[in-house]
Amino acid sequence: MQKDILLVEDNQDDIDITMEVFDMLGIHQRVEIVRSGEEALKLLFDPQLSKTSHWSVILLDLNLPGINGTQVVEKLRHNPLTQTIPVVMLTSSNRDEDKQASYHEGVNSYVCKPVDFNQFVEIAKALKMYWTDINEAPYDHSGTIFK
């Protein structure tokens, strides 16, 4: 079953570059793009949509308008519908505090976006390999298992 990627990012440049990199790496999964944490939660917590959509990974920016990335993770981890979806924090910040807070709330990975495009390609390659090719999430995310 083909699973989708959710990209939560408010900066259009970052969206374009990320999409370009996905293209370069031959990632042809559907990429759903939302521009704020609120939008992401609305999409993920929708009981109708959750029956039909399956996420392989959520790429989450830390600094977002409205609620920030760590708050989004916290809410995802407290909801049975989204509890087990892999989340990768994708951000410019390399502050230790941000890393600690993100892992504390339950992200699976924390990636500092480098300035160097080529480095970013390398990182994306590794992420793709792990989160979309190798990793199989432990549960079906439809939510039925918790009912």
Partner 1 sequence: MPDKLTLLICSHFLPEARVVVADEVFKNVEVIAYQADCDQPIKTLFNADGSPLKIKSNTILIGASCLQQFNSPIDKFTKNTIDLCFELLLSPEILQAYLDEGAHLFTPAMLENWQQVNEDWKFKEASDRNLFFSDSTAKLVLIDAGLDASAAIKMQQIADQLTLPWEIKTISLDRLRWQLLQQLSIWRQEQLSEKDKRLSDYAMINDLIRNLVTFLDEQKVIEKSMEIFHMFCATGNVCFLSIDEQANERFYPAQSFDNEAEIIQELKTLMTDYQLQSDSFQILIKREWRILGILAVKEVAFPQYINHYLNLARNIAPVIALAISNARIHQKQLISEQEIHSLNRELNNQLYSVNNLNQELETFTYSVSHDLRGPLRGLDGFSNILLRDYSQILDERGQNFLNRIRANAQRMGELIDDLLRLSRLTRAELIIQSVDLSVIAIELSENLQQAEPERQVNFTIDKDLTADGDVSLIKAALENLIGNSWKYTSKCEQANIHIGKQVKEEQIVFYIKDNGAGFDMDYADKLFAPFQRLHSANDYPGTGIGLATVQRIIQRHRGKIWAEAKPGEGACFYFSLGIKES
Q: Which residues bind partner 1 (CB under 8 A)?
A: 11, 13-14, 16-17, 20, 63, 91-95, 113-118, 120
Residues near 136 by beta carbon (within 8 Å), at least 6 away in sequence:
none
Is the CB of residue 67 less than 8 Å from the CB of residue 95? no
The distance of closest approach from Cβ of residue 72 to partner 1 in the complex, given in angstroms and rounded to an integer, is: 17
Q: Quick one: 9 or 105, whose CB is closer to partner 1?
A: 9
The distance of closest approach from Cβ of residue 111 to partner 1 in the complex, given in angstroms and rounded to an integer, is: 13
Q: Quick one: 114 or 143, whose CB is closer to partner 1?
A: 114
The distance of closest approach from Cβ of residue 23 to partner 1 in the complex, given in angstroms and rounded to an integer, is: 10
Q: Quick one: 16 or 140, whose CB is closer to partner 1?
A: 16
Q: Quick one: 61 or 85, whose CB is closer to partner 1?
A: 61
The distance of closest approach from Cβ of residue 117 to partner 1 in the complex, given in angstroms and rounded to an integer, is: 4
Is the CB of residue 133 less than 8 Å from the CB of residue 126? no
CA distances from 142 to 46, 50, 51, 104, 135 (A): 11, 6, 5, 25, 18
Q: Which pairs with CB-CB distance under 8 Å and at least 24 residues apart come from 141-146? A: 141/50, 141/54, 141/55, 141/81, 141/82, 141/84, 141/85, 142/50, 142/51, 142/54, 143/47, 143/50, 143/51, 143/80, 143/81, 146/80
The distance of closest approach from Cβ of residue 73 to partner 1 in the complex, given in angstroms and rounded to an integer, is: 18
